[in-house]
Amino acid sequence: MVEEGLERHKPLIDREICMLAGLAFLLPFVLPYKSLPAEILIYALGAVSFNILLGYTGMLSFGQGALFGMGAYTTGLLLIHLGWHPLATLVCASLSGAITALVVGLFSIQRIGLYFVMLTLAFNQLVFFIAYQLKGLTGGDDGLLDVPRPNLSIFPGLQIPLQTNLQFFLFIWIVFIGCIIVIRRILCSPFGRVLVAIKENPERAVAVGYNIQYYKLTAFIISGLFTGLAGGLYALFMKMVPITAVELVTSTDFIIMSLLGGLGSLYGPIIGAVVVKIASEILSEIWARWLLVLGLTFIVFMLFMKEGIWGLITAALEKLKVNLSGKVEKS
Amino acid sequence: MGAGLILMQLLNGIVLGAIYVLIAVGLSVVFGMLNIINFAHGAVYALGAYFAFSLASLIGAWTGSFWIAVAVAPLGVAVVGAGIEVSLLRRMYDVVHEYQILLTFAIALVIQELIILIWGPIGKSVSMPPQLAGVIDFGMFTFPKYRIFLVVFIALVCMGIWLFIHKTSYGAIVRAGTDNRDMVNCLGINIYRVFTLVFSLGVGLAGLAGALALPMRGAQPLMGDTILLLCFVVVVIGGLGSLEGAILGGLIVGVVESMMILLWPQGTMIAIFAAMAIVILTRPRGLWGLR
């Protein structure tokens, strides 16, 4: 199922990445909603990280919200209480996401199938209720308020402002494209191929001599690293950390985006995030019950279009290519 | 802390546990047979409550209206369940497990939104059935009659399910199907018909739980969300696929939850979900599970 973007020896930056960067860059100029483009890219990063687990390794994790929330709280708390450099807080957010993923993963990969799903779900609930109860630290139900978003000072005297929507979007855009390049490099590497092997046939992967527990755990940590980073960016974006960031609903958001976009490739979840976020913005204005539309769409995709939107796009492109080449031959 | 208070909380825990049992039994039986974890199970619990509410208010002020609602609402939910199984789940039996989980998750979303669409976002409530309003005096404390009825009634329902599964020939097919569905199919029994029956039975039980809980807890569109997660804990602790395990697990979770309210209310959910993780890690077949 996973085929695109997995050929070895791809250059770090090629046509695909340039197209992605270009299209993502257009977002703030085509969307009428001012803050939405940055949010889309943050969620896209989270969805891509989730898909490292489900699409590439075959692990359905309901625990991504915990990783996202840990990243968000880390950045938020470091900015509020210690006033660190934003980039330093983002590094810490990634690390806290990775460490949470290490703990959750270490336990969860002991089981497979449903029990794995239930374990990740239990851990998400644990982290949520702990965050909910630690009112003094996290603000509990009200969320962690008043997270500052200082400018990025690179050298003394040189400051990159992050205050307007566009400035902040550019910052997120650079981080996002950088992450996608790194994630693609990881997934194209021999390591990434082993993940796919584990997804396709875990018994055979064991039989050829791979320590699949090691690979699963590493996949978890990588996913946690980028989910935590997305969480940290979210705290900067919102200038607060709502309790929903760590709730199960964040996990399911990533799941829905990835599935609608298509699990089979690196780019599917990105498209899923774009479509879901824009649809939610437009539809929620028109009709309060837009989730009904989302749910029905989700069911239709599950039943008839398991490859997701990305699958539709690639199929259409393929058809177009065949048609064109057919015409060329005739003439 | 008086002994009366502790006893009362214990009873409350059993009442709460009884509702969990009724929902978890359906969840567990469906898992055993169809091998799916039904994320829509909480949503159909809410649907049961709303069906009962509509029926009760449709019939009006007659004293028996609530009882008719309790009798009919689960049937309505069971029909909805059969429809879901036949039209949606059946297409998914031959694909990866994860897709089935996600499909039920989407179904839950749709049911919840439909509930809000039909009945509105604000919760509904009905008054206690007059026959069971009031309390029983136990000396140290008083306890609502309805809650006692609830426990007795659910115990009878569970006995009925046990008898159905263990003593009838159809129950034998269900047990055989839980064990090895391909073999049952080979024996010339239409396993898909059994799937439909088991799924609508399980979903109907959740609907019954919703209808029974209505006078106590009312009906809110999202009432299924929290209870679904708790019922996952129940079936995991009891053992996925096991009827007896669901009963044991439900009572444990209910009693622990209401006792923790006395001891350390903030830690209730943390303790319950930690217990779930520990059971999966140390004894994945649960306390009563067979596999």
| pLDDT tens sequence across A117-145 | 989 999 999 999 999 999 888 888 889 99
Predicted confidence at residue A278, as pLDDT, reads: 92
CB-based contact A302 B284, cutoff 8 Å: no
Report DSSP state, residue A10.
-
The SS3 assignment for A241 reads strand
Predicted confidence at residue A94, as pLDDT, reads: 97
Predicted confidence at residue B127, as pLDDT, reads: 81
Say what percent of chain A tops pLDDT 90.
61
Q: Are A110 and A96 in contact (CB under 8 A)?
A: no
Alpha-carbon span B188 to A131, nearest angstrom: 54
Closest chain A residue by Cα to residue B232: A118
Alpha-carbon span B110 to B116, nearest angstrom: 10
Predicted confidence at residue A92, as pLDDT, reads: 96
Q: Are A230 and A271 in contact (CB under 8 A)?
A: no
Q: Give the mutation candidate from A243, A302, A304 for the B interface (greatest B CB count, under 10 A).
A: A302
Shortest alpha-carbon distance between residue B260 and chain A (Å): 15
CB-based contact A302 B102, cutoff 8 Å: yes
Q: Exposed, middle or buried by CB within 10 Å (0-12, 13-18, 19+), for B188?
A: exposed
Question: Considering only CA atoms, which of A274, A71, A275, A34 is closest in space to residue A168?
Answer: A34
Alpha-carbon span B224 to B50, nearest angstrom: 12
Say what percent of chain A tops pLDDT 70.
96
The SS3 assignment for A162 reads coil
Chain B residue numbers touching A133 (CB-CB < 8 A): 266-267, 270
- What is chain A's mean pLDDT, rounded? 89
Q: How far is CA B75 from the centre of its chain?
A: 14
Predicted confidence at residue A1, as pLDDT, reads: 45
Report DSSP state, residue A4.
T
Chain A positions with Cβ closer than 8 Å to B: 54, 58, 60, 107, 110-111, 113-115, 117-119, 121-123, 125-126, 129-130, 133, 248, 252, 255, 259, 289, 291-292, 294-296, 298-299, 302-303, 306
CB-based contact A295 B109, cutoff 8 Å: yes
Which residues lie closer than 8 Å to A100 by C-beta, 6 or more apart? A66, A67, A70, A127, A224, A228
Structure tokens at B109: 């979303």
Chain B residue numbers touching A115 (CB-CB < 8 A): 236, 280, 284
Q: Where are the domains of chain B?
A: 30-221, 222-291
Higher pLDDT, B148 or B138: B148
Structure tokens at B126: 């009905």
Alpha-carbon span A73 to A134, nearest angstrom: 12
Q: Give the mutation candidate from A108, A118, A244, A258 for the B interface (greatest B CB count, under 10 A).
A: A118
Chain B residue numbers touching A259 (CB-CB < 8 A): 102
Sign of torsion, CA B100 B101 B103 B104? positive
Predicted confidence at residue B138, as pLDDT, reads: 81
Alpha-carbon span A294 to B109, nearest angstrom: 9
Q: Which of A32-46, B169-183, B219-233 has the lowest mean pLDDT?
A: B169-183
Please check whether residue B270 touches A, CB under 8 A.
yes
Please report which helix (H) or strand (E) contains residue A156, including its range.
none
- What is chain B's mean pLDDT, rounded? 89
Alpha-carbon span A220 to A88, nearest angstrom: 22
pLDDT, tens digit (0-9, with 9 covering 90-100), for A182-191:
999 999 899 9
Q: Exposed, middle or buried by CB within 10 Å (0-12, 13-18, 19+), for A203?
A: exposed
pLDDT exceeds cutoff 90 at B179? no
What average pLDDT does range A263-270 have in this prediction?
90
Q: Where are the domains of chain A?
A: 15-330
pLDDT, tens digit (0-9, with 9 covering 90-100), for A272-283:
999 999 998 888
Predicted confidence at residue A53, as pLDDT, reads: 94
Alpha-carbon span A169 to A25, nearest angstrom: 9
**CA distance to A17, B236, B247, B263, per residue, from B143 (Å):** 67, 31, 23, 21
The SS3 assignment for A9 reads coil
In the stretch 217-246 of chain B, residues with CB closer than 8 A to chain A read: 229, 232-233, 236, 240
SS3 letters across chain B: CCHHHHHHHHHHHHHHHHHHHHHHHHHHHHHHHHCCCCCCHHHHHHHHHHHHHHHHHHHCCCCCHHHHHHHHHHHHHHHHHHHHHHHCHHHHCCCCHHHHHHHHHHHHHHHHHHHHHHHCCCCECCCCCHHHCCEEECCCCEEEHHHHHHHHHHHHHHHHHHHHHHHCHHHHHHHHHHHCHHHHHHCCCCHHHHHHHHHHHHHHHHHHHHHHHHHHHCECCCHHHHHHHHHHHHHHHHCCCCHHHHHHHHHHHHHHHHHHHHHCHHHHHHHHHHHHHHHHHHCCCCCCCCC
Interface confidence, given as ipTM, is 0.85
pLDDT, tens digit (0-9, with 9 covering 90-100), for A46-61:
999 999 999 999 999 9
Structure tokens at A55: 């699409």
Structure tokens at A169: 């979007």
CB-based contact A122 B88, cutoff 8 Å: no
The pTM for the full model equals: 0.89
In the stretch 101-120 of chain B, residues with CB closer than 8 A to chain A read: 101-103, 105-107, 109-110, 112-114, 116-117
Closest chain B residue by Cα to residue A125: B273
Best mean pLDDT range from A284-288, B110-114, B239-243: B110-114
What average pLDDT does range B246-257 have in this prediction?
92
Say what percent of chain B tops pLDDT 90.
44
Pick from A58, A126, A133: CB nearest B274? A126
Question: Considering only CA atoms, which of A67, A92, A73 is closest in space to residue A220?
Answer: A67
CB-based contact A302 B274, cutoff 8 Å: no
Q: Are A241 and A143 in contact (CB under 8 A)?
A: yes
Alpha-carbon span B285 to B147, nearest angstrom: 32
pLDDT, tens digit (0-9, with 9 covering 90-100), for B200-218:
999 999 999 999 999 888 8
Chain A residue numbers touching B281 (CB-CB < 8 A): 107, 110-111, 119
Chain B residue numbers touching A298 (CB-CB < 8 A): 102, 106, 109
The CATH number that domain A15-330 falls under is 1.10.3470
Closest chain B residue by Cα to residue A258: B102
> What is the CB neighbour count within 10 angstroms for residue B213?
25
CB-based contact A291 B109, cutoff 8 Å: yes
Buried b (16+ CB within 10 A) or exposed e, A80-118: beeebebeebbbbbbbbbbbbbeebbebbbebeebbbbb
In the stretch 27-86 of chain B, residues with CB closer than 8 A to chain A read: 31, 37
CB-based contact B109 A54, cutoff 8 Å: no
Number of alpha carbons in the 13 Å side-chain half-sphere of residue A230: 33
pLDDT, tens digit (0-9, with 9 covering 90-100), for A77-109:
999 999 889 999 999 999 999 999 999 999 999
Shortest alpha-carbon distance between residue A109 and chain B (Å): 10
Predicted confidence at residue A329, as pLDDT, reads: 60
Alpha-carbon span A220 to B104, nearest angstrom: 25
Work out the pLDDT band at B91, boundaries 50, 70, 90.
Answer: confident
CB-based contact A58 B88, cutoff 8 Å: no
Chain B residue numbers touching A126 (CB-CB < 8 A): 270, 273-274, 277
pLDDT exceeds cutoff 70 at A3? no
